Amino acid sequence: MSSATPAGCFHDALKATALASSSRQLNQPDLMIQAIRLYGKAVTGLNEALQSPVTRRDDSVLVALFVLGLFEVIAARPSQSRPANAEASCHPHSEGGLAMLQYRSEVMVNGNIDKVILAFFSFVALSECFMTYPGDFLLWSKLRTLTAPTADGPCFEPLLCRAVEFKIVGEEMMIRNGLAAGFTTFALLQSGMRSIEDLKTVAEH
């Protein structure tokens, strides 16, 4: 992180997440109360930082948003009745994080931290493709429209992206009970077979 003086929300987010983690590991509810207070302070500080054209370009603000997402994952209570959701389970602020990465790209602020966070969100989007209901690819859709010097779209090999896109098209066909735009049944089968053969080749080598 290149910030000479990290934003206050960064420190509060780190402390809140560390306390939440300790509370869960040590089974100490009092620590969670402290963590939630710091979380509220960090969210307020983050909102203030995002209002300024100067501070919202700071690396520490991006990291604060990322860490606050981790806090929410740690602090959340598991629910058997809640439907599977990779974004909520892995990082509740993935969409906001992608929007910030896009903004940073537009104002020419890109660094190693952007690459690391983009890679993390790419894995969340990939998980979402296999955890959510058929046809629910919201995060992947947002990710593939991202344009940045660090990467255009998901941080994966083109072959893996092809396989995911094949899954998306196939599920769209099932949901609509018809062919996806620009695809015939034969073309879709050909695309799937090519992806399978290419994945097999990579796995064997």
Length of the chain equals 205
Q: Give the pLDDT mean for 3-23.
A: 90
| 160-177: pLDDT as tens digits | 888 888 888 777 777 766
pLDDT greater than 60 at residue 66: yes
- Strands (E) across 69-204 are located at 147-148, 151-152
Mean pLDDT value across the chain: 81
Q: Give the pLDDT mean for 58-63.
A: 93
Predicted confidence band of residue 154 (pLDDT cuts 50, 70, 90): low
Q: Which residue has the tokens 């998980």?
A: 127
Q: Give the pLDDT mean for 105-129.
A: 84
Q: Are 121 and 94 in contact (CB under 8 A)?
A: yes
Q: Give the pLDDT mean for 7-34.
A: 95
The C-alpha atoms of residue 92 and residue 94 are separated, in whole angstroms, by: 6
- Structure confidence at residue 16 (pLDDT): 97
And the tokens for 19? 């306390």
Q: Which DSSP symbol is given to 1? A: -
Predicted confidence band of residue 86 (pLDDT cuts 50, 70, 90): low
Q: Is 93 helix (H, G, I), strand (E, B) or coil?
A: coil
Predicted confidence band of residue 1 (pLDDT cuts 50, 70, 90): low
pLDDT greater than 90 at residue 6: no
pLDDT greater than 70 at residue 54: yes
